[in-house]
Chain A
Amino acid sequence: MVPIFLGITVLSYLILTLTPGDPVQMLISPGQSAEDVAIKRRAFGLDQPVYVRYVKWLGELARGNLGYSFSTGAPVTKRVGERIVPTLKLTGAALLLSYLIGIPVGVLAAAKRYSAIDYLATVLTFLGISLPTFFLGLVGIYIFALRLQWLPVSGTMTLGGDGGFLDGLHHLVLPASVLAVAGAGIITRYVRSSMLEVMGQDYVRTARAKGLAEVLVMRRHALRNALIPVITLAGLQIPALLAGAVITEQVFEWPGMGRLTIEAINQRDYPVLMGITIIAAVLVAIGNLLADMAYAVADPRIHYE
């Protein structure tokens, strides 16, 4: 674990240093004096060599301090931390939605292979994964927010309130759906091919030969084993949950990690970028652990070393 984290931090720091662009220059207002600029540079520690800065940062990290954002002056933990919940809301809802749609449609398509339903499902899922997200988002806004006015244009809540659960949900529908479209397509294909593969296995044939009812065959034997690779897929998607959905967040003004990363990149806000990297790495590690556990539960053939 630790070597991976160290590796990640060193790589990040290296990348940030090698990338052209000066954070202080990004914060200068026209007419600002050269002395003010120099003071800022010193305050950011940018007048010191790279390895000194890295070691200092590491030391602070050991004490639980991620430093202060260059552009806002707020603590990095706060700036990154307040993005985690909205990000999880968005990507979590999208993931849930894509599985809710993908699993049943996939099973249907597998059971009725090469029928009209299968072809329809195929075309729809392929459409879903073939259109760029920002385009879908824009079209979604146009149809649902502008023409039909069923949904709000963007944002997480109505102005002025904490909104409440219903309001939050209302704002979540469009962005989560747009995100879920591609996901649902992939899940459907995955479930379909997994089901097909399992249905061709010996133990299913045996169960059927035993005279078990079709429903039981499906549910107990086929479905459970077909879902193993699907769970693996879910596990692989957990890191993506926290990278945030950059494009969707930009289009819908969603205050997530993806949007923060873009802002921080544009401002070359090194402390925030390092903070995002390390927090993302930690959460990814946790996510992978959970996925491995879920995998072990679902498939008793696998034992965890």
Chain B
Amino acid sequence: MDCATRLTPAFACEFARPVKGGEYMKGMRVWLAAIITLVVAALMIPAGAVGAPKSSLVVVSGMWSPPNNFSPINTDSSYGYYVVRFIFQGMMEARLENNQMRFSPALATRWEASADRQTFRFTIHPRATWHDGRPVTAEDVEFTVMTISDPKTETNRGAEIATIAGLTAGGKRVADQQLGFRILGPKSFEVRTKVPVDPQMFFERFGGNVYILPKHVLGSVPPDQLARHPFFQNPTVGNGPFKFVQYKTDQFVELVVNENYHNGAPKVRRVFVRIIPPTTMLAQLERQDLDLSAGFGIGEILIEDWDRVKEMPHVRPVTIRAPGYQFMVFNFSRPYLEDKRVRRAMAHAINRPLIVNQLLKGAGEIAEGPIPPANPYFNAAVKPWAYDTARARALLQEAGWDFNRTIILRVPTGNILRERTGDIIRENLVAVGIKVEIQKSDFPTHLAALTGKNYDIGLIGWAGPTDPDVSSQFRTGGQYNFGHHSIARMDQLLDEGVRLSDPARRKTIYNQFQELFADELPYVVLYYPNGRTVIAKRMSGVNYDIFGLFDYLTYNWVAGPQ
């Protein structure tokens, strides 16, 4: 402010003096004061006046992302199905508990397999009804199967019914063939498969994963328009223990009890499934605005927040031995990755114990194969390769690895732990002399690169059904064979495993498969992360299983007082 040298015009100098314009400034000051008062007043609205209902009859569950839609046959596999399973059911609920496959009745009261393992009979509960009062009948089941198998229907349930006679390997109807479905009575039906199958597998897939659609509501909709039908945004006619009330976009789904549920009306009257980003889940828990986290992969506690959650007196932290795993896939179309000594070297070079102990804070397991340790088909005799940098270097030299070569490690964004794992892997590989460059991209780009063979090594995750048939991933030409590998003996074993229907014989085959896997290493399986979930202590009767999802036997839930 240079009033002395007159470089600043005179009147500006005058303005600087507080006396002038004092009155006007008073006006401004008043306005400012008014705003501050308003803001403070708004903050003062006590939380209790407009707080969340905390009743013993209301349960709030939290998941990370919004569901796409509520179609029992065509929603995205995780968030959507979590909600769908409250509203729609299949014949039974199939879950793996303590290494054993357990089936609980859902819509069916009885189910049996014939001695030849080709015919399966189901009886629907006499009091099973739709939410609008109409009875659930065998015709509804037939309608569902017909819809899924219609070549014009968009669905992702095709593989679940593919074993039925008259369908292709993808679950679509073949023109002149008879569908292996027969209605025996209003509440009973029978299904015939193409060849004898393992009953456990059949009951898990057809019994547990096929949710029934209401024929009287959707019967007249042309199959190619089904995917866009508004019913799947607003599924008011379901058959499960809870009824759909509303979905506030990106906020929450509201469900209310189905009083007439045939297995007993749930004691919980209202369920909210809330969409909460991982960062704020902790805050909601602390404020006791959340009772359950949805479960593995869709609603977990951040690893940083886990210790704090364990300290909270009103919730019970639950660690799930999860069925999913993260792995590093090799691009077999690159000749320098074809030598299995190179792959073995990398398995030795990556410090998997460090990743599990430090990055996952001990909450994970290491296994050298795609079948989870908690799965009954797991081969405990196959040990993971040890962390051994000397051995890694020796193997690389034996295989004639070119140490001047730089390879590309593709890492998808979106899973923070996986991204950090990528960083660790790079350091580990560099330490044994392999030059690695990391390329990160969002998930769709990453997937496109993998299928387009545009990488050397890449990270990705998987969580499959409990049935050990992993042909789609490891068979030559398999749909999810990201590495594009082709190992003859592996194909043989996998085909055999599908062909056999005797569980004991299958176990032998899959044991051999896992031994082969550890030897050939089409992937390096990095870790099986545990799921970190919570259940509020006021809740009881919450069942969960190997999948760590709490939407199982939901009609058993009981919520006590706050």
Binding site for B on A (CB under 8 A): 19-23, 25-37, 39-40, 43, 68, 71-75, 82-83, 100-101, 104-105, 107-108, 111-115, 138, 141-142, 144-146, 149-160, 163, 166-167, 169-170, 173, 177, 196, 199-200, 204-205, 208, 214-215, 218-219, 250-251, 253-255, 259, 263, 265-268
What are 6 A-to-B residue pairs whose CB atoms are below 8 Å?
Answer: A39-B151, A73-B233, A115-B16, A144-B43, A159-B53, A219-B24
The 7 A-B pairs of least Cβ separation, nearest first, read: A21-B444, A35-B170, A29-B77, A33-B170, A255-B250, A33-B158, A36-B158
Asked whether A31 lies within 8 Å of B472 as measured between CB atoms, the reply is: yes
Task: Kindly report which residue of chain A lies nearest to residue B50, judged by CB atoms.
Answer: A167
Contact A72 B151 (CB under 8 A): no
Q: Given A21-B442, A68-B228, A83 and B23 touching (CB < 8 A)?
A: no
Q: What residues on A are CB-neighbors of B553 within 8 Å?
A: none
Nearest-CB distance from B154 to chain A (Å)? Answer: 5
> Nearest-CB distance from A81 to chain B (Å)?
11
A214 touches B20 (CB 8 A): yes
> How many angstroms from the CA of A98 to the CA of B76 in the assembled complex?
40
Once the chains bind, are B276 and A146 in contact (CB under 8 Å)? no
Contact B74 A73 (CB under 8 A): yes
- Among B71, B277, B286, the residue within 8 A (CB) of A250 is B277
Residues of A within 8 A of B463 (CB): 30
Q: Give B169's nearest chain A residue, CB to CB.
A: A33
CB distance from B297 to the nearest CB of A (A): 11
Cβ of B403 under 8 Å from chain A: no
For the complex, give the distance between the alpha carbons of A153 and B251 in Å: 12
A-B pair count, CB < 8 Å, reads 239
Given the interface pairs A101-B35, A199-B15, the reply to whether A73 lies near B286 with Cβ below 8 Å is no
Q: Is B429 an interface residue (CB 8 A)?
A: no
- Contact for A113 among B16, B52, B224, B414, CB less than 8 A: B16
Report B93 CB to chain A, min CB distance, Å. 18
Q: How far is the CB of B469 from chain A (nearest CB, A)?
A: 9
Complex: how many Å from CA A98 to CA B234?
39
Instruction: Please count how many residues in chain B sit with their CB below 8 Å of the partner chain's CB atoms.
Output: 99
By the criterion CB–CB under 8 Å, are B170 and A34 in contact? yes
- Return the contact of A170 from the options B45, B68, B224, B274 (Cβ within 8 A): B45
Q: Known interface pairs A205-B11, A253-B275. Does A73 touch B227 (Cβ–Cβ under 8 Å)?
A: yes
Q: When chains A and B are docked, how far (Å) is the Cα of A251 from the Cα of B50?
A: 21
Dominant SS among interface residues on chain A: helix
Contacting residues, chain B, for A100 (C-beta < 8 A): 35
Contacts of B171 in A (CB 8 A): 33, 35-36
A215 touches B448 (CB 8 A): no
Contacts A36-B158, A111-B15, A153-B284 given; indicate if A72 touches B444 (C-beta within 8 A): no
Give the residues in chain B near A142, CB-CB below 8 Å: 283
Q: What residues of A have a CB within 8 angstroms of the CB of B444 in the complex?
A: 20-23, 25-26, 266-268
Enumerate B1-51 residues with CB–CB distance to A below 8 Å. Answer: 1, 9, 11-12, 15-16, 18, 20-25, 27-29, 31-32, 35, 39, 42-45, 47, 49-51
Question: Residue on A with the closest CB to B448?
Answer: A20
Interface string of B421-464 (1 = CB under 8 A from A): 00000000000000000000111110111010000000000111
Contacting A at CB under 8 A, from B363-415, are 414
Residues on the B chain within 8 Å of A163, using CB: 50
Q: How distant is the Cα of A88 from the Cα of B248 in the complex, in angstroms?
A: 17
- Contact across chains for B270 and A218 when beta carbons are under 8 A apart: no
Kindly state whether residue B249 has any CB partner on chain A within 8 Å: yes
Is the CB–CB distance between A208 and B159 below 8 Å? no
Closest to B30 in A: A104
Question: Which residues of B have CB within 8 Å of A205?
Answer: 11
- The CA-CA distance from A151 to B25 in the complex, in Å, is 33
Interface: B69 (CB within 8 A): yes
Among A35, A138, A146, A158, the residue within 8 A (CB) of B172 is: A35
Q: Which residues of B contact A104 (CB under 8 A)?
A: 28, 31-32, 35
